[in-house]
Amino acid sequence: MSKSVMLVEDEPNIIEAISFLLERDGWTVRIHSQGHDAVEAVQRVAPDVLVLDVMLPGRSGFEILRDLRRDAATRDLPILMLTARGQTKDRELAESYGVSHFMTKPFSNDDMLSTVRDLYAASAGEA
C-alpha cells in the first residue's frame, strides 16, 4: 500500500519541488492550494501525513491546523507546517494548536524527506 502525503501549498515552485522529492521516494502526493476549503480537502483525502503552509489564500495554515486538531478524524494526523517567516511566535502558535513539526523555508531536501518519513513512522507505530 502506498503512503500518501497531502501538500497544502500555493507556491508552484514549492509544490513542484516537494512533490518531486516525495514521489521519487515512493509517496503518493495530493496537492491542494486554497485555504478556505483545505480542512474539507484533508478530510476527504485522509492522507498519512499533511504538509501545510502557513500563508495560504483564503485562510491561514494556523486556522486550518486548529480546526483539524478539533476534529476526531484528524486529531492525530501528522502535520508538518511550513513557513517563510521563522519567528518564534509563529512556532509557538503552531505548537499551541498541536503541530507535529515546524519547518522554515527554505529547507533542505534531506530535512523535508527525513521529517515526512519520521512523522509517518511515528504515527504508524514504527518509531
b/e per residue 99-124 (b: at least 16 CB within 10 A): bbbbbeeeeeeeebbebbbbbbeeee
Tell me: the pLDDT tens digits for 74-123? Answer: 999 999 999 988 789 999 999 999 999 999 999 999 999 999 999 999 99
Tell me: the pLDDT tens digits for 48-80? Answer: 999 999 999 999 999 999 999 999 999 999 999
Count up the domains in the chain and report the number.
1
DSSP at 25: T
The phi, psi pair for 103, rounded to 5°, reads -135, 135
The C-alpha cell at 91 is: 512556532
Which residues are registered as beta bridge partners of 53?
Answer: 82
- We report the CATH number of the domain holding residue 23 as 3.40.50.2300
Q: What is the pTM of this model?
A: 0.96
Tell me what pLDDT residue 115 has: 98
Label residue 125 by pLDDT band (50, 70, 90).
confident
Domain span including residue 106: 3-123
